[in-house]
Structure 1
């Protein structure tokens, strides 16, 4: 039986971004799905935009990758013209403008996060439709977020250490993978500070195990 090309395709993911004392931690699962079909088990949903700014992508993988490439191009041109690094807020606004302009043609939810010398660590959410919300604490997005938003709110603390923040994000993504049938694979993570970006990978057997 051939599927109707106009039939909506369900997509799922889990994204987390959190502030800690010296910067930002972002994390995501790695499953890319098309309905019940798992297209990629180890996708990287954390995309580099500049040396100190990353985005977390949810929605259509093709749409979000296209948007991320466009934003990276705009910011590279901006940095070349001005001779200074782009701010996280500026990157988030470019994401917002593109997502809003093509809101009827693309399925894209973005978390833009990073570090700049003007405001330090920053997290901005651009949900489908193209609005822009700055997050001061912790945020989750994607289908797995419904299982972990309360968990994150309860355990998040201001001025956490890097280790505490990494542990919280790993526990949250692990819980979402356990509960959400559309999330799975490994946990990819990035720690962003004034010193640069540290990437981390937690394989499936390194995730926090939950029962029930």
Structure 2
């Protein structure tokens, strides 16, 4: 048992894992469906993924009440934006809004760790990863939640580009095809479920591309 698992608190509910991978013309966002507190599983079928716009999907891990409050606030701000501009926010615009929202609450922050995925104005996949107070960056892939310390080394091994100190800097998107990215996401969740007690039951996968959105589910360990 890890130190993180042993020293749990009531604010750890809805731990789990969230992953996003950006490709040249797609983005994959995934999260498990287990919500738990300590050693008690509250539900095995809870979605950690929220669709903020047609081309922006948010996956969050942390304290359930704070996550719901954050999603409600973002939905209200997006509705105001649509009335004012007669269009939906792009994923990079939503990323900036999320950063501003988290930073505004920095002295009493949302206990929420977020990864935002979608498509930019050029149709490329984009992933933005955050800390609790709004610092963010655009990356090719990211993971958040209690299983992220297990998942990120796996993704680094499979997707990390060569050092920009040795070669010209490469694009942030990953070289995998859409199907390869989905298979990789399924693999990392199977691996994380073996070691993280807060990750399990099912993985929900959202794929965004030029054709729209589709969802897939895959069963994980339930113990």
TM-score interval, normalised by the smaller of the two chains: 0.7 to 0.9
Indicate which of 159, 184, 194 corresponds to 2:210: 194
Q: What TM-score, normalized by structure 2, do the two folds share?
A: 0.82
Pairs aligned (count): 199
- Which residue number in structure 2 is paired with residue 78 of structure 1? 81
Task: Give SS of 1:9's match.
Answer: helix
Aligned counterparts of 2:79 and 2:90: Cα–Cα separation in 1? 12
Other-structure match for 1:131: 135
Shift of 1:9: 3.1
State the TM-score, normalized to the length of structure 1: 0.86
Matched, 1:154 2:170: no
CA deviations over 1:119-150 (Å, ceiling 9, x no partner): 63211112212212211x21111110111211
- Tell me, in whole angstroms, the C-alpha distance in 1 between the residues paired with 2:82 and 2:11: 37
Gaps of at least 5 residues in structure 1 are: 1-6, 208-212
- 2:11 and 2:62 in contact (8 A); partners too: no
The match for 2:3 is none
Moved more, 148-157 or 12-21: 148-157
Is residue 116 of structure 1 aligned with residue 123 of structure 2?
Answer: no
Q: Tell me, what secondary structure is at the counterpart of 1:197?
A: strand
In structure 2, runs of 5+ residues without a counterpart are 1-8, 161-173
Runs of 4+ in 1 over 3 A off after TM superposition: none
Q: Distance in 2 between matches of 1:45 and 1:90?
A: 21
Q: What is the aligned-residue RMSD (CA, Å)? A: 1.9
- Whole-Å separation in 1 of the counterparts to 2:64 and 2:217: 20
SS of aligned partner of 1:42: coil
Partner of residue 167, structure 2: none
> Residue 97 of structure 1: SS of its match in structure 2?
helix
Provide the C-alpha distance between the structure 2 equivalents of 1:109 and 1:10, rounded to a whole number of angstroms. Answer: 12
Deviations 1:187-208 (A, max 9, x none): 0000011221111111237x9x
Give the structure 1 partner of residue 183 of structure 2.
Answer: 167
Q: Equivalents in 2 of 1:148, 1:119: separation in Å?
A: 27
1:153 Cα deviation (Å)?
1.1
Offset of residue 71 of structure 1: 0.8
Find the aligned partners of 1:148 and 1:164 in 2 and give their Cα distance. Answer: 16
Offset at 1:20?
2.0
